[in-house]
Structures are given as structure tokens and as C-alpha cells.
């Protein structure tokens, strides 16, 4: 008959896991935008980075609704939309432009991001 091994908790490995998770979250939370005026007079915002609950506030702050022209393009070709919070952030931005009687075109969503946005819809508000 064999005796059961005592429970073993590797706290030094747990510290590595927690530290790795924090570093991963910090790297994922980098969101950048650049903007330019197109030849047709619309302002184009190019979003780079991961859009999720940790970056949604920063995302919403990137836009200058009051001073932007009547047509705006938000290009997500360098980004990924991960969750409901991200879709909510996009919805908030679109709503701000609509309230200002301005048109917004969303472009460049990768297939997974597009499916999420289509499934949840851009009129979703989750109280953020």
C-alpha cells in the first residue's frame, strides 16, 4: 500500500504566473490611434492594438467629435475587438457622432471581430 503524497503548493510558481499575467495585461492594454484627412474630406482614425474592457475608456477618448468633419472612418485593420466592453465602446463613439449629425463608417474589422460586433450589435450599452 502506498501513502498519498501531501498536498504541495508551489508559491514561487504562483508568483511567476501572477507576474506573467500582469505583464501580459499591460502589453495588451496598449491602444493607439492615428488620424488623417482623406482626399475626399473625411477624417480617418486608424486604431492599433487590442480593444477590450481594459482599453475601452482610452478608445472613447481618442475621438474629437466636435471638431471632426461630417464623415468619419474608424479603421480597425490593425486592431482586434475582444469583448462586450469593446463593442460598447465602439457603440458609444458611434452614438456621439450620430448625436452630432455626423456619419461614421467602421472598416477593417477582422473576421472574428466582425462576427462579435454583428452578433452583439452596435446599439448595445452595458452601463460602462
Rounded to an integer, what distance in angstroms lies between the CA atom of residue 123 and that of residue 128? 13
Kindly report, residue by residue over 41-88, the tens digit of the pLDDT: 999 999 988 888 888 888 888 899 999 999 999 999 999 898 888 898
Evaluate the CA torsion angle 105, 107, 111, 117 in order and state its sign. Answer: negative
Residue 126 has pLDDT above 80, yes or no: no
Q: pLDDT at position 124, please?
A: 45
Rounded Cα distance between 71 and 102, Å, is: 6
Q: In which band, very low, low, confident or very high, does the pLDDT at 15 lie, cut at 50, 70 and 90?
A: low
Dist. CA 77–CA 88, nearest whole Å = 19
Write down the pTM of the prediction. Answer: 0.72
pLDDT band at 123 (very low <50, low <70, confident <90, very high): low
A 10 A CB-CB count for 82 gives: 18
Amino acid at each position: 500500500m502506498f501513502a498519498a503524497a501531501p498536498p504541495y503548493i508551489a508559491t514561487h510558481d504562483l508568483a511567476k504566473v501572477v507576474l506573467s499575467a500582469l505583464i501580459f495585461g499591460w502589453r495588451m492594454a496598449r491602444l493607439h490611434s492615428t488620424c488623417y484627412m482623406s482626399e475626399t474630406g473625411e477624417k480617418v482614425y486608424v486604431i492599433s492594438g487590442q480593444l477590450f474592457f481594459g482599453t475601452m475608456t482610452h478608445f472613447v477618448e481618442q475621438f474629437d467629435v466636435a471638431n471632426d468633419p461630417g464623415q468619419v472612418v474608424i479603421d480597425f485593420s490593425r486592431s482586434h475587438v475582444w469583448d462586450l466592453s469593446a463593442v460598447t465602446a465602439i457603440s458609444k463613439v458611434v452614438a456621439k457622432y450620430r448625436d452630432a449629425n455626423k456619419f461614421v463608417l467602421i472598416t477593417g474589422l477582422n473576421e472574428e471581430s466582425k462576427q462579435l460586433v454583428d452578433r452583439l450589435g452596435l446599439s448595445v450599452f452595458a452601463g460602462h
